[in-house]
A and B are shown apart, each in its own frame.
Chain A
Amino acid sequence: MDLLTFALLVALTGIFAGLVGSLTGLGGAVVAIPVLVVAFVVPFPEAIGAGLLTVLATSSTTGAAYVRDHLSDLRIGMFLEIATVPGALFGATATVFLVHARLADALLLALGAVLLALVPGTIARNRQPPYTTAAEPDDISRRLGLSGSYYDEVRHERLSYNAARTRPALGVGFFAGVVSGMFGIGGGVFKVLSLEHYLRLPMKVATATSNFMIGVTGAAGASVLLVAGYVNPVIGAPLALGTAFGALGGSRILPRLRNRTVRWLFVPVLAVLGVEVILRGLGIA
């Protein structure tokens, strides 16, 4: 395969991944990395590096729009980054050591398990009722002023919110960072879990703040993998370009789609990719 064909196919993969990733809030890398490994036979460490570049492209694309619209909470995002950034540094470092120890296949198996683990989480999020009352802030939340409000265009009213259980949210944030740095995915599902379930933010604010945060977490992981030589721009550049356009398209058509429908469509894709990655890790596929 020549470079032009490769770049075009990878860019198309990026467009699809960016579209699906932005519609589901899980980020494009969750789709892009398994496709790179399974369809393009890219070495897993370089697929992780490319995945982090898609995370950065997605975050800057959607993050810029969400910040402009004041949907991302800057204080809460920065607060959780205290946990996600060290997590990403730890995860990326662990990946480099595992690859050096010739345990990349074990990493593949672990990624497959993470992808399959996202399936029930995605289904559960479909069933979870939205929080309708502002939570009681805890002591850290009060001290740092972790509260805000946003104008809900569907309900046509301004809604206020407070960050609640900040300590467990930091713990989940650290885990999200580890997953992001270790597998090159944004870890958005865990960040949204931390923001929505523990901090009890409204879903829109949680999703927008997660999109805003994943770029910084991705930058932390990418900086380690970059110096270790696992960020290959020949793979990452067309993927990041495609993802940025896919994410932009996704953010435009999202208001016209029902979230539940999109997520139900995404679940089988996630399950198939998870199984494929596990088979690849076992040397079967």
Chain B
Amino acid sequence: MTLSSAPEGNAVARPGELPPTVYQHMSTTLRVGLVVALVLLAAAIAALVHRSYASPAGGWVSPNPLVRYLDPRLLAAGLAGGAPEAYLTLGVYALIATPVVRVGTGLYSFLRHGERRMGALTAIVLALLLFGLFVVGPLVR
């Protein structure tokens, strides 16, 4: 099982392994997506608290502000109008989109390095994710 005892860590590609740049791109995608999502969520929550946001009957868990902004036109209008709920929704979108973009990065990397089979598998994963968002979700709503 032991290949070598060279202390070069993991950042060197062995024959048949993906180049280190693929790992770097994917790691950067995850980190940037996470930071964008968390900044949006934190700023929106702070703005909601500042506005002394309090939901009516039922307490603090209802109503769900995201339902209104599922409509892209209302979301765009909310963002333009500086509505904290719209930015909160955008933060949730960013959080969900981050792994999806990561799959897209994987697809690009596999195809770029001539790994057609892995590219095809990754394309199926991406298609399934988009199918869930645009077909399954609206169907079961």
The answer on A and B forming one complex is yes
Write the residues of chain A forming the contact surface with B, with a CB cutoff of 8 angstroms: 1-4, 6-7, 40, 42-43, 46, 53, 56-57, 59-61, 63-65, 67-71, 74-75, 78-79, 81-82, 85-86, 88-89, 92-93, 96-97, 132-134, 143-145, 147-151, 156-161, 215-216, 218-220, 222-224, 226-229, 231-238, 240-241, 244
**Across the interface, do A159 and B96 meet the contact criterion of CB distance under 8 Å?**
no
* Interfacial chain A residues near B85, Cβ < 8 Å: 233
For the complex, give the distance between the alpha carbons of A97 and B140 in Å: 8
Say what secondary structure dominates the interface of chain B: helix
- Interface SS, A side: helix
Residue from B45, B49, B88, B132 whose CB has the most chain A CB atoms within 10 Å? B132
A143-B117 contact, Cβ under 8 Å, with A82-B124, A151-B10: yes
B59 to chain A minimum Cβ distance, whole angstroms, is 7
CB of B10 within 8 A of CB of A241, answer no
Spell out B's residues near A (CB within 8 Å).
Answer: 1-11, 14, 16-18, 20, 22-24, 26-28, 30-31, 33-34, 37-38, 41-42, 44-45, 48-49, 52-55, 59-62, 64-67, 70, 85, 88-89, 91-92, 95-100, 102-103, 106, 109-110, 115, 117-118, 121-122, 124-125, 128-129, 131-133, 136-138, 140-141
Nearest residue in A to B3 (C-beta to C-beta)? A158
- List the B side residues contacting A133 at CB < 8 Å: 1
Are B91's CB and A237's CB within 8 A?
yes
Chain B nearest CB, measured from A123 CB (Å): 27
Contact of A63 among B30, B62, B88, B89 (CB under 8 A): B30
Q: Are B125 and A223 in contact (CB under 8 A)?
A: no
Q: In the complex, which residues of chain B have a beta carbon less than 8 angstroms from the beta carbon of A79?
A: 118, 121
Contact A231/B41 with A93-B140, A215-B98 known, Cβ cut-off 8 Å? no
The answer, among B10, B54, B61, B67, for a CB contact under 8 Å with A2, is B54
A64 in complex: contacting residue of B17, B27, B45, CB < 8 Å: B27
Q: Which residues of A lie under 8 Å from residue B115 when comparing CB positions?
A: 145
B26, closest chain A residue (CB): A67
